[in-house]
Structure 1
Amino acid sequence: MANIKSQKKRNLTNEKARLRNNAYKSELKTLIRKVNDSIGTSDKDAAESNLRIVSRKLDKAVSKGVLHKNTAANKKSGLAKKVSKI
């Protein structure tokens, strides 16, 4: 444990950010799973609507600093490619 007051504060904020980021990543994984499930059932309308939601959430994750922009771009393009194959 740190002895310096500012580092103690920093540790608290880091922990809050870590929990928030984990929650956001978990939500993203759930949404991506929904897209993949709708692709598996060949439901194009559901897949496209879920893809729109996931794309928006991925962009928001990038703006909040949860994900790197290239990671989000790779995920979006991969999902879009799968949806277009239906």
Structure 2
Amino acid sequence: MANSLQAKKRIRTNARRAEINKARVSRIRTFVRKVEEAIATGNKDAANVALKAAEPEIMRGVTKGVSHQKTASRKVSRLSARIKAMA
């Protein structure tokens, strides 16, 4: 258990940040899922629109520190490649 005031404050701060980060990751997953659902239905236009909405959200996760820059770039690249491969 934390003894100093600063350690107790860090516990509170970390709990708040964890909640915010959890919500942000969930939001990113939702946007990615919408892109994948559009790809699964075969609707290329809807998939493009969903990707255009998801890309800034994924990259915002990088600036906020919930994911690594290369991980986000790889995710966007693979989604766009899957959309491009659609007939």
User: CA-to-partner distance for each residue in 1:16-37, whole Å, 9 max, x for gaps?
Assistant: 1111111111111111111011
TM-score (norm 2): 0.94
Aligned twin of 1:4: 4
Aligned twin of 1:40: 40
Structure 1, unaligned runs of 5 or more? none
Identity fraction in percent:
37
> Which whole-Å CA distance do the structure 1 matches of 2:12 and 2:82 have between them?
41
Runs of 4+ with >3 A deviation: none
> Which whole-Å CA distance do the structure 2 matches of 1:83 and 1:18 have between them?
33
The aligned length equals: 86
One-letter amino acid matched to 1:52: K
Aligned twin of 2:23: 23
One-letter amino acid matched to 1:64: K
> Which whole-Å CA distance do the structure 1 matches of 2:79 and 2:28 have between them?
13
Structure 2, unaligned runs of 5 or more? none
